[in-house]
């Protein structure tokens, strides 16, 4: 399902601050060489992540799901001078590509990449986070939310990607795939959590923005 008409997306990109050279090259290389390039955050969402981080000025950021590192670079732009971004991905084959672009971005000393299962790595991270971006396996979102919550400072922000899941969440439950059902369960969990307040943003494939009260 086309959630955002191509003409609207093109208009949004036209009036969004352009990608810098590093992000442009990473975007292009991902589409040329990596399977499932649509998983990349891309121009408009990447700039949104960058601006949210710049507004918060976080000391600690957590990203679940690195892919090729585009979102991590965008998020790192808002870090305080002593800040650190921890990003976790299970796909070790993309580590070299990520590291290459982290170096090129100038944020390599502020980005720590972890290879492994998100839940296991997260359990061993002794940090308090100001900003969290969840973009990993959809079936794990509910569990990641619980794991992250105790590590998120009061007033901290969680951004959860793909909550509209290509529009499948709008279909009758009997027609939804497993990933879409997982997104609905996650959204329902957040809605019922009186410790949080949230807004669902219709950027790209849907971003649920959650604030810890």
| Neighbour-count burial for 21-48, b at 16+ CB within 10 Å, e otherwise | ebbeebbeebeeebeebebbbbbbbbbb
**160-176 mean pLDDT:** 96
Q: What is the pLDDT of residue 2?
A: 82
57 phi-psi bin (left φ>0, alpha ψ -120 to 50, beta other): left
State the average pLDDT for the chain.
97
pLDDT at 170 over 90: yes
- Does the structure show a pLDDT above 90 at 145? yes
Query: Are β-strands 207-212 and 196-201 bridged in parallel, bridged antiparallel, or unpaired?
Result: antiparallel
* Pairing status of strand 207-212 against strand 152-161: antiparallel
pLDDT digits (tens, 9 = 90+) for 172-210: 999 999 999 999 999 999 999 999 999 999 999 999 999
pLDDT band at residue 139 using 50, 70 and 90 as cut-offs: very high
Return the pLDDT at 1.
78
At the top level of CATH, the class of 6-212 is: alpha beta
CA 206 from chain centre, in angstroms, equals 11
Long-range contacts of 22-25 (CB under 8 A, 24+ apart): 22/73, 22/101, 22/104, 22/105, 23/70, 23/73, 23/74, 23/105, 25/101, 25/104
Q: What is the pLDDT of residue 71?
A: 98
- Please name the helix (run of DSSP H) or strand (run of DSSP E) that holds residue 201, with its range, or none: strand 196-201
Give mean pLDDT, residues 133-150: 97
What pLDDT, on the 0 to 100 scale, is given for residue 168?
Answer: 96
Taking only the tens place, the pLDDT of each residue in 64-112 is 999 999 999 999 999 999 999 999 999 999 999 999 999 999 999 999 9
**Percent of the chain whose predicted confidence (pLDDT) is above 90:** 97
Q: Is the pLDDT confidence value at 212 over 90?
A: yes
**DSSP code for 202:** -
Over residues 117-125, mean pLDDT = 94
Section 22-33 average pLDDT: 97
Question: What values do phi and psi take at 180, rounded to 5?
Answer: -65, -40
């Amino acid at each position: 399902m086309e959630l955002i008409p191509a003409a609207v997306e093109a208009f949004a990109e036209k009036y969004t601050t352009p990608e810098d050279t590093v992000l442009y090259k990473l975007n292009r290389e991902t589409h040329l060489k990596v399977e499932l390039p649509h998983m990349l955050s891309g121009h408009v969402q990447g700039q949104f992540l960058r601006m949210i981080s710049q507004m918060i000025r976080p000391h600690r950021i957590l990203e679940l799901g690195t892919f090729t590192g585009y979102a991590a670079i965008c998020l790192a732009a808002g870090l305080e001078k002593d800040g650190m971004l921890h990003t976790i991905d299970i796909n070790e084959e993309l580590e070299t590509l990520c590291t290459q672009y982290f170096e090129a971005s100038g944020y390599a000393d502020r980005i720590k990449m972890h290879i492994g299962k998100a839940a296991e790595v997260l359990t061993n991270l002794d940090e308090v986070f100001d900003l969290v971006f969840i973009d990993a396996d959809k079936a794990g979102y509910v569990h990641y939310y619980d794991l992250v919550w105790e590590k998120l400072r009061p007033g901290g922000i969680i951004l959860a990607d793909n909550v509209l899941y290509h529009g499948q969440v709008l279909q009758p439950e009997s027609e939804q795939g497993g990933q879409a059902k997982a997104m609905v369960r996650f959204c329902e969990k957040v809605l019922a959590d009186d410790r949080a307040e949230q807004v669902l943003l219709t950027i790209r494939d849907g971003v649920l923005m959650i604030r810890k009260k």
